[in-house]
Amino acid sequence: MANKFGEAALIAARLEVPAQVTAAQRWDTAVRQLYPDKPYMQKKSAPKSAFLGLCEAGVVKGVAVAEPGAENRNKEYAVKAVELLRAGTHKTIPALWTAVAEGDEAPHAAQLDVVMALWKNGLIVTA
């Protein structure tokens, strides 16, 4: 089982919704479901940005490619992590974080929990 933000990514990716529902709306629905009484957790930006970055890159199975939003390092971290997982060179969150953060002093903030949950559940396009 993934952590809560990994679980949110799984829920968001698996939602059966009309095509016009955006990736951001999927995410918001998922976190409201998981954190109904914690709006501060619903607003956590790092995991949401990671999910949106993957959707913008078109790598989340079953989710339409999202319109590009503002540049964001959390989106970049998520996309780089998928590239490393595809290459088979990094398999754990600590190893991925070291590689994608490239010396950035920022702590891991659930971005890679989103990536790993989707990856381990076969919801990332592998090629």
Q: How many CB atoms lie within 10 A of CB 127?
A: 4
pTM of the model: 0.93
pLDDT digits (tens, 9 = 90+) for 45-72: 999 999 999 999 999 998 988 888 888 9
pLDDT digits (tens, 9 = 90+) for 12-58: 999 998 888 999 999 999 999 999 999 999 999 999 999 999 999 99
- The percentage of the chain sitting over the pLDDT mark of 90, rounded to a whole number, equals 74
The answer to whether 6 and 119 are in contact (CB under 8 A) is: no
Q: How many CB atoms lie within 10 A of CB 95?
A: 14
Mean pLDDT of 85-90: 92
Q: How many CB atoms lie within 10 A of CB 29?
A: 16
Residue with tokens 């698996």: 14
Torsion, Cα 71 59 113 84, to 10 degrees, reads -90
User: Could you tell me the two tokens for 94?
Assistant: 């600590």
